[in-house]
Amino acid sequence: AQTVTQSQPEMSVQEAETVTLSCTYDTSESDYYLFWYKQPPSRQMILVIRQEAYKQQNATENRFSVNFQKAAKSFSLKISDSQLGDAAMYFCAYNSGGGADGLTFGKGTHLIIQP
């Protein structure tokens, strides 16, 4: 079974600085997808960034970027120029089956932004 591990229950960063959230996963599949989701207090799941495993290039979305290390099964999220609105729970997630499978989530990292 696939597993996703987030080893940082909580992270704190000063506003405008950069923070990196860690995620590792375990799978025997060769084709899969990885995601970072943000869950603010409203509890609405918001997609931050996606990465297809077959792509070597790391995904970027404005201030958000990932460091995808396929051999190491690592998928970290870097948030640059942190903003107060970035404060939330962040979940790393995985799926395979051509993307038609349900997501396996990590336990989450609570990100605190210090003004």
Partner 1 sequence: GAVVSQHPSRVICKSGTSVKIECRSLDFQATTMFWYRQFPKKSLMLMATSNEGSKATYEQGVEKDKFLINHASLTLSTLTVTSAHPEDSSFYICSAIGQMVYPYEQYFGPGTRLTVT
Q: What does the binding site for partner 1 look like in residue numbers (CB under 8 A)?
A: 33, 42-45, 47, 50, 91, 95, 98-108
- Comparison of 71 and 100: residue with beta carbon closer to partner 1: 100
Q: How far is the CB of 43 from partner 1 (least distance, A)?
A: 5
User: d(Cα 10, Cα 12) in Å, to the nearest integer?
Assistant: 7
Q: Computed from CA positions of residues 12, 14, 15, 21, in that sequence, does the dihedral angle turn out positive or negative?
A: negative
Hey, which residues does 34 pair with through a beta bridge?
51, 94
Q: How far is the CB of 63 from partner 1 (least distance, A)?
A: 20
Hey, which residues does 22 pair with through a beta bridge?
none
Q: How far is the CB of 86 from partner 1 (least distance, A)?
A: 19
- Comparison of 31 and 81: residue with beta carbon closer to partner 1: 31
User: d(Cα 39, Cα 58) in Å, to the nearest integer?
Assistant: 22
- Comparison of 40 and 114: residue with beta carbon closer to partner 1: 40
